[in-house]
Amino acid sequence: MFLLLASLASAQDAQIQVTVPPKGSGIIVVDGAETGVRAPGIISLPPGEHTIQVNGDCVTASETVTVTAGAKTIVKLEPQPVGGFAEIRVSDPAAVLQVDGKTMAAPAMLPLSCGVHTLEANTDDLAASQELTVEMGGAYRVTLELLPIPAVADIPDPEPTPDPDPTVDPEPESDPRLTQDPVKPDKDRNGGKIAGGALTAVGAGALVAGGVVRAGALSDYQEFTALDVDGDGTIRTPENTARANTLWDDNIAPARTTSMALFIAGGLCVATGTSVMILVDDQGRPVVGYTGRF
């Protein structure tokens, strides 16, 4: 019987779904009592009129609803920003009071939103400034004590420049061209040019010698290929093979190595000698050959 009565009493309660758009949250309070449920959430209430409120961080929302037994009701609450209350006084009633840049008469009693607020007051020669942090539901009393404004230090006049003595010859103004590094004296660079020319000539001679050696081995190479070492269809004989090996080992291979070495050495000598000739002249400045400058 007890369980039946409890189930009947529970069936009489209404289901209330409380939401706070957009994506709001807070503790649900019913008729001034916290339920411990955060919105969005569902609570059960007996039939009748109830005040449903949600308290969040510096916002609150409230609505009075009438619920019927067994019904399900959706309550959407629109949050409104809330903060605290402040009483602001100034030590000099003649001072101008500003709260967050807005001028108002002092003393001032006004609501302030949650957060940090700037309080300022000033006269012609007095000033005060303070920040006030307001929390939800807080009450504050602030008195701004005006203090003298620091005076700007007087800047002394510069000492006058004495007139020049007419009996003393003035020093000549410095010419910026005279402050540059002195020009270095010319140096004799003929030796460098001669060395560059000689090195270039040696390199050219090496290149020519390499060409002569390689050309001299050409006839031997033609005879070598005629001895069927490359498989051209000629009947190979022991005598041909022996002659081909002798030509390759004694003439062709040494000539190829020698000509390659002469080509490399000649190229290096020509490049080095030409560089010396380009970078050196009688005044130590770069020129092209013996005649023109870069």
* 83-105 residue pLDDT tens: 888 999 998 888 899 999 999 88
What pLDDT does residue 129 have?
A: 92
Q: Is the pLDDT of residue 181 over 80?
A: no
Nearest to 103 by CA among 120, 116, 124: 120
Q: Is the pTM of this model over 0.85?
A: no
Of the given ranges (1-5, 187-191, 236-240, 246-250), which has the lowest mean pLDDT? Answer: 1-5
What pLDDT does residue 132 have?
A: 92
**Fold designation for 2-81:** Immunoglobulin-like (2.60.40)
Structure token pair of residue 43: 């609570």
Q: Is the pLDDT of residue 170 over 80?
A: no
**Could you check whether 2-81 and 83-148 share the same CATH topology?**
yes
> So what CATH class is 83-148?
mainly beta
Which of the two residues, 130 and 223, has the higher pLDDT score? 130
Of the given ranges (47-61, 114-128, 155-169, 276-290), which has the lowest mean pLDDT? Answer: 276-290
List the chain domain ranges: 2-81, 83-148, 190-293
Which of the two residues, 234 and 18, has the higher pLDDT score? 18
Nearest to 55 by CA among 38, 67, 74: 38
Residues 6+ apart with CB under 8 A from 232: 225
Q: Is the pLDDT of residue 294 over 50?
A: no
Report the chain's mean pLDDT, rounded to a whole number.
Answer: 76
Task: Round to whole Å and give the CA distance between 37 and 45.
Answer: 13
Which of the two residues, 162 and 286, has the higher pLDDT score? 162
- Averaged over 197-215, what is the pLDDT? 79
Which of the two residues, 177 and 255, has the higher pLDDT score? 255
Of the given ranges (78-82, 148-152, 174-178), which has the lowest mean pLDDT? Answer: 174-178
Q: Is the pLDDT of residue 151 over 70?
A: no
Of the given ranges (40-49, 135-144, 273-282), which has the lowest mean pLDDT? Answer: 273-282
Which of the two residues, 51 and 286, has the higher pLDDT score? 51
Which of the two residues, 33 and 166, has the higher pLDDT score? 33
Of the given ranges (76-90, 125-139, 177-191, 252-266), which has the lowest mean pLDDT? Answer: 177-191
